[in-house]
Amino acid sequence: MRLCDNTALELANMLRKKQCSAKEIYSDTLQRAQDEQNTINAYITFNDEAEKAAEAVDAMIADGRELPLIAGIPIAVKDNISTKGLRTTCASKMLRSYVPPYDAFAVEKLRNAGAVIIGKSNMDEFAMGSASDTGFFGAVRNPVDTNYSAGGSSGGSAASVSSGGAVLALGSDTGGSVRQPASLCGVVGFCPSYGAVSRYGLIPFASSFDRIGSIGRTVEDTYLLHNIINGADPKDVTSLNIFYPFNLIGELQGIRIGIVKELWNSFIDDDVRSSVMSAIRLMEKNGAVIKEISIPDILSAVKAYYVISSAEASSNLARYDGIRYGHRSDKCENLNELYKNSRSEGFGDEVKRRIMLGTFVLSEGFCDDYYKRAVALRKSLCAGFEEAFQQCDIIASPVYPKAGLKLGENKNPTEIYSADIFTVPSSMAGLPSISIPFGKNREGLPIGLQLIGGRSCDHKVFDIAYGYELVGGGCND
């Protein structure tokens, strides 16, 4: 087995026993990433300074210095998370040459812990999409079957970990963009409570939803990464200071697992339904208690989400006008043409669609009918989740109604948006959730189990997921 096929904790142990060097781990992982790049297209930019970072870790080990477990581990960073001196494009023509002068809070924490940032991973443009096929740099293919998408919008991050082109990865999750690609690529993806990880340096899509999440091959690896990047940040007024114990226990005995009846009445592929129910039964067999619960507003969450998130996107992306930020058109004769042509040329179709939708729902005469009603539903949904967590410790569901997304198969926006039914509700409420692989469908494509926890109960989500993994879950065999 190659070094890049080991978990982060296995590699950390090997480093400390001097069975390999950080430079050897980086070189092997980079070689795998480059070998797969033409096929998978997981990266937009590789980091030319990564080898120096690996050598610095080796020097510290040689000096006998104690290092964080993540030191020397190659990590991919989604290309909407700022990296000082390393191009950050949001997979958009609008920012194709942008090099940030600062690191995101999460990236700074990784660098301080000795992690090796191998490169910037491909994605949907400005994180708007579900198949990592809306970006300027081409679609990301699924390493499990390259006829299929890696999912989105953090497709490059999930594909890089799945293929061995990174050991861990950062993604962003607005409505499911870490969990869905993790599910489709057969890895673990965690979306934290809103505020658990600072958004400083995350280029915004929808500010009241956006979160930086972690992707790994195991629950423990993903927890290791999250434990590095979480914490309060004075540069982000929404950030929280949540303490996370290092060790996971993984006890399932007596854990109450909620099954939301409204979700299970929606469309789900037979293979996905049976696999996820098998995962839930496995936890029940090991001491968990299954409870049916109801959250009446949950089926309206997707509609409200796309109203609110598009409104926020319309506002956030207004800054890209060809003057202050982003691509500037050379086909203009006056100021209005400069704005129009720069934005028309710089943004792709999906981004334009959401900007126009967001502008519409915020416009005079429509704000009350759409935006304010969506905000009211969001508040009601949050109350529904709070009531649900009086009855259960965790909520279990599929991550996505299908096991795979064939590249180019479905371009109907309404159908694409509707498929977010399982991930969007917890995003609306700012709740922590995790995708864990369990089984495959008849075509051999991975299926993910989603576990959703209460507000700021991130450690509990990880602990239950770890318990599930210990009893035989988290595999794709």
Q: Which of 78, 93, 120, 440 is catalytic?
A: 78
Nearest CA-CA partner of 115 in 53, 51, 64, 158: 53
Give the C-alpha separation, 427 to 90, whole Å: 21
Catalytic residue, candidates 132, 160, 177, 342: 177
The DSSP symbol for 192 reads P
List 153, 163, 342, 433, catalytic entry: 153
**CA gap 459, 457 in Å, rounded:** 6
In the three-class reduction of DSSP (H, G, I as helix; E, B as strand; rest coil), residue 361 is classed as helix
Sheet holding 43-46, edge to edge: 43-46, 116-121, 74-78, 168-173, 211-216, 188-191, 433-440, 446-452, 394-398, 256-260, 289-293
Element spanning 427, H or E: helix 424-429
Degrees, nearest 5: CA angle 28-31-34? 150
Give the DSSP letter string of 218-243: SHHHHHHHHHHH-S--TT-TT-----
Q: Is 177 a catalytic residue?
A: yes
CA angle 8, 162, 42 (to 5 degrees): 110
Q: Is 153 annotated as catalytic?
A: yes
Phi-psi region at 101: left, alpha or beta (left = phi > 0; alpha = psi -120 to 50): alpha
Nearest-5° Cα angle at 36, 31 to 39: 160
Which residues are known catalytic residues?
A: 78, 153, 177
